[in-house]
């Protein structure tokens, strides 16, 4: 009896049960409020562990027609999500924030406004592979963003989508520290999710030299189940076991280049891995491009986002897990 009691206390003390119901869409901002990081866990305003599950939009420059409230309503209702991730395109062959800051910013702000109205979280992604070369623009964007929206608990910042194979300590980390400092001047506590080298896979590099002096920082993991498998789960597990808080700000069920097929068995292994740890995850993408990673078939209108008859093979698995 005594032994049993001790065992129970041990379990409760070391593992905070997630308070989420099966369906992420029911786990709203008004229910969970301001998020923070406690050890490796994401917790709500009462210190209880919380899990965010949802959808990334496609690059703002290429699918602007999904950047409004019609889509965000459907992301919550049909994709069963409590988080949406607008992707601010920075520097593509067709332009982006560097060439049209006002137009691109307006798309992102429309999604943020809709997410606030719809009572879900919103992860604002600086969709760049060389953000250290655009530091001035990034600081301008995040300064304005955090001044405008920093008081809303809905807001989560992602200042660097995927650093390529760059040095963590000398290049990526200093970039993050500069952006974090700028955000924190306006917004003392909303969550910031920072990208790691090699397309946000090398959590081991961040774990060896984490960012210190700031609260509510998590490290982003990106995976595509057709390409990134046990090796990446092992790296991630070691990083988490070592105390690094990890947030899956982008994942796909297919290959890293978004091509098919859906790798069902590996995707299920990843879900199991993430669920065991109560991790948050955001699928790429709300998109009707003719490619494996798209959740919807070509020609899907915004109000049919994640509607059952418009889902692809990938979309079906993703929506199933957002509500299960």
Where along the sequence are the contacts to ligand NAG (CB under 6 A)? 65, 68-70, 226, 229, 261, 263, 265-266, 302
Query: Which among 132, 162, 266, 291 is annotated as catalytic?
Result: 162
| Terminal-to-terminal C-alpha distance of the chain | 35
Q: Dig out the tokens for 175 from the structure.
A: 């970039």
Please say which residue, 68 or 137, places its beta carbon nearer to ligand NAG: 68
Least distance (Å) between residue 193 CB and ligand NAG: 27
**CA-angle at 274, arms to 45 and 256, nearest 5°:** 120
Least distance (Å) between residue 86 CB and ligand NAG: 14
SS3 184: helix
Please say which residue, 266 or 288, places its beta carbon nearer to ligand NAG: 266
Q: Does 105 qualify as catalytic in the annotation?
A: no
DSSP-assigned letter for residue 97: T
State the Cα–Cα distance between residues 173 and 158, nearest whole angstrom: 13
Least distance (Å) between residue 118 CB and ligand NAG: 12
Least distance (Å) between residue 303 CB and ligand NAG: 7
Q: Does 309 qualify as catalytic in the annotation?
A: no
Please say which residue, 36 or 70, places its beta carbon nearer to ligand NAG: 70
Please say which residue, 114 or 207, places its beta carbon nearer to ligand NAG: 114
DSSP 186-224: H-SSS-EEE--HHHHT-HHHHHHS---S-SSEEEEEEEE
Q: How many other C-beta atoms are found inside a 10 Å radius of the C-beta of residue 109?
A: 17
Question: Catalytic residues, which ones?
Answer: 162, 250
């Amino acid at each position: 009896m005594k032994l049993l009691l001790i065992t129970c206390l041990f379990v409760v003390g070391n593992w905070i049960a997630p308070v989420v119901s099966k369906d992420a869409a029911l786990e709203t901002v008004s229910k969970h409020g301001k998020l923070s990081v406690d050890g490796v866990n994401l917790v709500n305003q009462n210190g209880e562990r919380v899990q965010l599950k949802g959808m990334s939009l496609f690059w703002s420059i290429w699918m602007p027609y999904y950047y409004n409230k019609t889509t965000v309503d459907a992301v919550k209702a049909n994709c069963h999500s409590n988080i949406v991730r607008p992707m601010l395109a920075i520097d593509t062959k067709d332009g982006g924030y560097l060439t049209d800051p006002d137009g691109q910013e307006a798309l992102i702000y429309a999604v943020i406004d809709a997410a606030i109205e719809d009572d879900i979280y919103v992860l604002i992604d600086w969709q760049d592979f060389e953000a250290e070369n655009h530091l001035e623009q990034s600081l301008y964007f995040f300064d304005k963003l955090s001044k405008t929206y920093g008081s809303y608990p809905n807001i989560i910042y992602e200042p660097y989508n995927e650093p390529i194979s760059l040095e963590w300590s000398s290049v990526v980390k200093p970039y993050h520290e500069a952006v974090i400092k700028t955000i924190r001047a306006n917004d003392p506590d909303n969550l910031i999710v920072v990208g790691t080298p090699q397309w946000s896979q090398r959590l081991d590099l961040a774990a060896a030299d984490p960012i210190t002096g700031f609260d509510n920082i998590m490290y982003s993991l990106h995976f595509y189940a057709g390409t990134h498998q046990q090796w990446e789960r092992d790296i991630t597990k070691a990083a988490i076991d070592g105390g690094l808080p990890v947030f899956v700000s982008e994942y796909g069920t297919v290959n890293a280049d978004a091509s098919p097929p859906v790798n069902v068995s590996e995707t299920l292994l990843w879900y199991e891995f993430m669920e065991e740890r109560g991790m948050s995850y955001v699928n790429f993408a709300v998109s009707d491009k003719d490619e494996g990673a798209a959740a919807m078939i070509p020609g899907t209108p915004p109000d049919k986002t994640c509607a059952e008859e418009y889902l692809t093979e990938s979309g079906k698995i993703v929506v199933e897990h957002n509500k299960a």
